Amino acid sequence: MKKILVVADPLEAFKIYKDTTFAMMRELQRRGHTLAACEPEHLQWQSGQPVTAQVRHVSLTGDAEAWFTTTREGREPLHSFDAVLMRKDPPFDSEFFYATHLLEQAEREGARVFNSPRALRDHPEKLALMEFAQFAPATLVTRRPEAIRAFHNEHKDIILKPLDGMGGMGIFRVGPDGMNLGSIIETLNQGGATSVMVQRYLPDIVLGDKRLLLIGGKVAPFVLARIPQGSEVRGNLAAGGKGVAQPLSDTDRAVAEAIAPTLAARGLLLVGLDMIGDKVTEINVTSPTCFQEIQQQTGFDVPAMFVDALEAALA
């Protein structure tokens, strides 16, 4: 039996019918592990002392509303837990960045943190694909408006997105007519102050923006294709996309298996690889989701696969 600390958003805000962190916690408790939770704001370091957090030990009730009870609360050192799961949702802002440094200090004191705090910092979700450019669509990252215009002139149909967005926030499509390109550049680029990612539009988005789950260096056998609805270009579930689970294709598997070992070796126990067609568009490492959607539609127990990998890492 292991003591597990989950660093996440407030438990009261969880939508447990779809929340991946909840699914992890449920499987951990089912196996006899004990659970505690805190938020990044509860982390603290003081010279001469280890990194601590104000934590609450919780027990899951099985009830849909009052889904957990708090058994005790107090300030405890992170290294007193067998594992710390960093599950704070994006955005990756300054406070998230500072939290990774506190967690890395906790690692130096003996804590085991998943995903690795250093790896979280080293793999920003949009920019991490640069290392695997052979699997990505034509992509540009720049602060120069003229470079964006030149990219549009070359590729005609493009997608623009902020580097710190989540859930489809701030994503725009500009077609061959260039309609509103100037206005979109002004909105995202803020006069050259903010970097923008631009990618060639992939028509396969109509078949879904696929979420592949890489767990412990292995790829789950099912993906969740998030399919845009109506005239929407975004497949993100938060933007109204429809999630349809489907078996991993041979191409999906080949790409995932080429990437997974590298990321796992860096301490990324769980990665959400986003693909449109045969192209990787993002590599999500902060708080990958879709466990419950895949399990509910296919019967494949993604939380069990995750906890298997976590237990193996702790063995």
149 given a catalytic annotation:
no
Contact 234, 228 (CB under 8 A): yes
**Predicted confidence band at 82 (pLDDT cuts at 50, 70, 90)?**
very high
Res 276: pLDDT = 97
The pLDDT value recorded for residue 222 is 98
211 is catalytic: yes
AA identity, residue 183: S
- Mark whether 18 is an active-site residue: no
Q: Which whole number is the average pLDDT over 24-40?
A: 98
pLDDT per position as a tens digit, 229-251: 887 777 777 767 899 999 999 99
* DSSP string for residues in 227-286: E--TT-----GGGTPEEEEEEPPHHHHHHHHHHHHHHHHTT-SEEEEEEETTEEEEEE-S
User: How does strand 139-142 pair with strand 196-200?
Assistant: antiparallel
Instruction: Give long-range contacts, CB 8 A cutoff, 24+ apart: 65-68.
Output: 67/14, 67/16, 67/22, 68/11
Q: Which of 87, 88, 210, 234 is catalytic?
A: 234
Which entry of 19, 27, 209, 282 is annotated as an active-site residue? 282
**234 classed as catalytic:** yes
Question: How many CA atoms does the CB half-sphere of 240 hold within 13 Å?
Answer: 7
- More confident site: 201 or 238: 201
pTM comes to 0.94
Q: Catalytic pick from 107, 209, 252, 274? A: 274
Q: HSE-up of 81 (CA within 13 Å, CB side)?
A: 32
52, 13, 58, 14: which is closest to 35 by C-alpha?
Answer: 58
Q: Is the pLDDT of residue 17 over 70?
A: yes
Catalytic residue of the set 115, 189, 236, 284 = 284
Q: Which of 112, 161, 210, 279 does the annotation list as catalytic?
A: 161
- Contact between 221 and 247 under an 8 Å Cβ cutoff? The reply is yes
Residue 224 exposed, middle or buried by CB count within 10 Å (0-12, 13-18, 19+)? buried
| Predicted local distance difference test score (pLDDT) of residue 232 | 78
Q: In the annotation, is 253 catalytic?
A: no
pLDDT of residue 239: 67
Catalytic (active site) residue 226: yes
pLDDT digits (tens, 9 = 90+) for 103-162: 999 999 999 999 999 999 999 989 999 999 999 999 999 999 999 999 999 999 999 999
**Closest C-alpha to 165, from 269, 100, 91:** 91
Which of 211, 236, 252, 293 is the catalytic position?
A: 211
Cα Rg, the chain, nearest whole Å: 20
**What is the predicted pLDDT for the residue at 313?**
98
- In this predicted structure, the answer to whether residue 26 has a pLDDT above a threshold of 70 is yes
What domains are defined for the chain? 3-115 (3.40.50.20), 138-201 (3.30.1490.20), 204-314 (3.30.470.20)
Catalytic residue among 56, 88, 112, 126: 126
